[in-house]
Amino acid sequence: MAQTFLITANTGIGAETARQLALRDKETQILFTALDEEKCASLVAELNDLGAVSTYFVGDLTDTDTAPKVVAACIARFGRIDGLFNVAGISGRRYGDGPAHECTEDGWSRTMETNVTTLYRMCRETLKAMLQQAPAPDGQRGVILNMASILAVSPEPDHFDTVAYAASKGAILAMTRTMAASYMRDKIRVNAIAPALVRTPMSARASEDLEILKFIKQKQPLIADMIPMEDVASACVYLLTSQSRSITGQVLAVDAGWSLASLKTC
C-alpha cells in the first residue's frame, strides 16, 4: 500500500526528507506546500524522477484558509494522509526577534504566527482527516512530525539569543506531547525533532560567520561543523514511517552533542 506524506516545505530538511522517502519506497506519494511555485515545480520533477508520485500546493500557511485547502488537496489527490511533516518556520531576527528586552512586538508576533499557529492549523486539519480514514496495514491511522529546535531545551545566549524563536519551538514541544496523548488511542502518533545548527538555506547567515563556525566546532563535537541536513532528514524518515511505530510523544534531538557540550571553563 502506497503511503502518502504531506510536507510543509520545498527546500532544506523538508525537501531532503521527501527525497529520502522517495528513495525508500518507489510507491511513495508526496504533496508539499510552499510559497515559491518555481521551486515547487523543480522539486516535483526531481521526486518524480526518483519514482515517487508527487504534487504541490502553492499557498501561504499564515492565511487561515490555506491549511484546510492543502489538506483537502492532498485527500482529493491521494485519498489519505499517512504522515504530516510540519517543517515551515522562520527565524524572526529580521523582524526584531532577539533577547527578551530587545524583542519587538513584530518580531514576537510574526515568529509565533509562522512557527506555532500555522503548525496548529495544519495539525488540526490533518487530524480531522486521519480520524476519518481507515488504519493502514500496520494498524495505525497516521503520524505527525513537528519541527522543533534544540534551542527550546538548550539555549545559547552568546550567538542564538532569540526569545520568540525559542518560545515558539518550546510551544511546539508542548503541543506535540499534548496531541500525542490525545490521539494515541486512535492509533495516531505525534513526535517532534529538535535539530541543532544544520546546514540549510535558512542557516546561510550562520554558515558565513567565522565566529559562529569556530563556536560550532566545540558545541557540536560529533561533527565539528554544521550538521548536514541529510543526517536530520534520515531521522525524520524514521519518525514518519513504521520503523518508529511504537514511538509517540517524544522529542528526538539531532544535535551532534550540542545539549551535552559546554564551552565554559572554570
Each domain of the chain, given as residue ranges in start order, spans 4-198+228-254
Residue 235: CB atoms within 10 A of its CB come to 18
Indicate whether 205 pLDDT > 80. Answer: no
Q: Band the pLDDT of 215: cuts 50, 70, 90.
A: very high
Measured distance CA(226)–CA(217) in Å, rounded: 8
CB 86 within 8 A of CB 145: yes
pLDDT tens sequence across 119-129: 999 999 999 99
* pLDDT one-digit tens code per residue, 37-73: 999 999 999 999 999 999 999 999 999 999 999 999 9
Give the C-alpha separation, 199 to 230, whole Å: 9
Q: What is the mean pLDDT of residues 198-218?
A: 83
In this predicted model, what pLDDT tens digit does every residue of 144-199 receive, in sequence order?
999 999 999 999 998 899 999 999 999 999 999 999 999 999 999 999 999 999 99
Q: Which tens digit of pLDDT belongs to each residue from 72-89?
A: 999 999 999 999 999 999
Residue 10 pLDDT? 94
Q: Is the pLDDT of residue 7 over 80?
A: yes
| CA distance linking residue 247 with residue 168, whole number of Å | 23
Section 242-250 average pLDDT: 97
**How does residue 208 score in pLDDT terms, banded at 50, 70 and 90?**
confident
Which homologous superfamily does the CATH classification assign to the domain defined by 4-198+228-254?
NAD(P)-binding Rossmann-like Domain (3.40.50.720)
- The string of pLDDT tens digits covering residues 103-117 is 999 999 999 999 999
The closest of 125, 120, 96 to 109, measured between CA atoms, is 96
Q: How confident is the model at residue 209 (pLDDT cuts 50, 70, 90)?
A: confident
- % of the chain exceeding 70 in pLDDT: 97
Q: Determine the pLDDT at residue 266.
A: 33
pTM: 0.95
Q: How much is the pLDDT for 2? A: 87
